[in-house]
Amino acid sequence: MARGLDVGTMNIISSRPEGDGTTFVQQRNSFVEIEYSDMAEQMLSRSEVLHIRKDDKVYVVGDDALNFANIFNKETRRPMEQGILSSEEASAIPMIKLITEQVAGTPERQGEKIFFSSPADPIDSDLSTLYHQKTLESMLADTGFDPEPINEGMAVIYSELADNNFSGLGVSFGAGMTNICLAYYAVPVMKFSIARGGDWIDHQAAQATGTPVDKVTSIKEDDFTLDFTTDVGGVEGALSIYYENLLDYVIEMISQEVDQEDVEEGLDVPVVVTGGTSSPEGFEELFAQHLEDVDIPFSISDVQSVDDPLYSVARGALVAARSEEESSGGGAATEQQSED
Contact footprint for Mg ion (CB under 5 A): 8, 174
HEC profile for 123-142? Answer: CCCCCCCHHHHHHHHHHHHH
Shortest spacing between CB 10 and ligand ATP, in angstroms: 4
Shortest spacing between CB 80 and ligand ATP, in angstroms: 6
The binding track of 37-76 with respect to ligand ATP, each residue x by CB under 6 A or -, is ----------------------------------------
Nearest to 127, CA basis, from 75, 181, 190, 193: 193
Q: Restricting to residues 221-280, name those near ligand ATP by CB under 6 A.
A: 221, 275-277, 279-280
Pick the closer one to Mg ion by CB: 168 or 198.
198
Rule CB under 6 A: say whether 198 interacts with ligand ATP. Answer: yes
Query: DSSP 3-state assignment of 331?
Result: helix
Query: DSSP 3-state assignment of 108?
Result: coil
User: H-helix or E-strand containing 17?
Assistant: strand 11-18
The binding track of 282-321 with respect to ligand ATP, each residue x by CB under 6 A or -, is ----------------------------x-----------
Residue type, 328: S
Pick the closer one to ligand ATP by CB: 168 or 198.
198
Q: Which stretch binds ligand ATP (CB under 6 A): 56-64, 66-74, 97-105, 214-222?
A: 214-222
Position among 4, 5, 9, 226 found at the interface with ligand ATP (CB under 6 A): 9
Pick the closer one to ligand ATP by CB: 58 or 310.
310
Q: Which residues contact 91 (CB under 8 A, 6 or more apart)?
A: 31, 54, 59, 77, 79
Q: Restricting to residues 81-100, name those near ligand ATP by CB under 6 A.
A: 83
Residue type, 242: Y
Pick the closer one to ligand ATP by CB: 112 or 152.
152
Shortest spacing between CB 224 and ligand ATP, in angstroms: 6
User: Are residues 147 and 114 in contact, defined by beta-carbon separation less than 8 angstroms?
Assistant: yes
Q: If contact means CB under 5 to 8 A according to the sort of partner, which of Mg ion, ligand ATP, none does residue 220 touch?
A: ligand ATP
Cα 113 from Cα 1, distance rounded (Å)? 8
Q: If contact means CB under 5 to 8 A according to the sort of partner, which of ligand ATP, Mg ion, none does residue 280 touch?
A: ligand ATP
Q: 213-223 vs 198-209: helix axis angle to the nearest 10?
A: 120
Shortest spacing between CB 172 and ligand ATP, in angstroms: 6
Cα 310 from Cα 279, distance rounded (Å)? 8
Pick the closer one to Mg ion by CB: 8 or 147.
8
Shortest spacing between CB 277 and Mg ion, in angstroms: 9
Pick the closer one to ligand ATP by CB: 58 or 178.
178
Shortest spacing between CB 277 and ligand ATP, in angstroms: 4
Nearest to 151, CA basis, from 83, 78, 201: 83
Cα 263 from Cα 181, distance rounded (Å)? 12
Pick the closer one to ligand ATP by CB: 41 or 102.
102
Q: What is the DSSP letter of 47?
A: T
CA distances from 40 to 33, 45, 57, 239 (A): 12, 9, 11, 38
Pick the closer one to ligand ATP by CB: 34 or 272.
272
Q: If contact means CB under 5 to 8 A according to the sort of partner, which of ligand ATP, Mg ion, none does residue 221 touch?
A: ligand ATP
Q: Which residues contact 179 (CB under 8 A, 6 or more apart)?
A: 83, 119, 120, 151, 152, 153, 156, 171, 172, 191, 192, 193, 275
Nearest to 262, CA basis, from 189, 186, 178: 189
Q: Restricting to residues 168-187, name those near ligand ATP by CB under 6 A.
A: 172, 174-177
Q: What is the DSSP letter of 59?
A: E
Return residues touching ligand ATP (CB under 6 A).
6, 8-11, 83, 172, 174-177, 197-199, 217, 220-221, 275-277, 279-280, 310
